[in-house]
Amino acid sequence: MWNWLWANARYSLDDLAEKSSLTVPLVERKLKPLIGNRVMYPDGTVNSFVQRYLRERVLRLFDVKPRKSAKGS
């Protein structure tokens, strides 16, 4: 199912390469583990656990205490 979803997802490697300043082959290489490990979903969203982890890392990097959101995320 996962492979089918990604096979039918519409995105432009050229646009991703341009926006990230990477080459198309490098974008492809970097996307494969994100897709395979289900870090990124076909709709463009990021796994919620990964998103929380990255948020905590950025806050720690800037030594900021996280605030509680209304949704609890």
Q: Please check whether residue 67 lies inside any domain of the structure.
A: no
| pTM as predicted | 0.70
| Number of domain units in the chain | 1
Q: What is the dihedral of CA 47, 38, 34, 16, to 10 degrees?
A: -70
Q: What are 28-69's pLDDT values in tens digits?
A: 999 999 999 999 999 999 999 999 999 999 988 888 666 676
pLDDT at position 62: 87
Q: Please check whether residue 11 lies inside any domain of the structure.
A: yes
Listed residue (44, 52, 57) closest to 71, CA to CA:
52
> Has residue 70 got a pLDDT over 90?
no
Q: Pick the more confident residue, 46 or 71.
A: 46
In angstroms, the CA 17 to CA 13 distance is 6
- Look up the domain containing 20 and give its range: 2-61
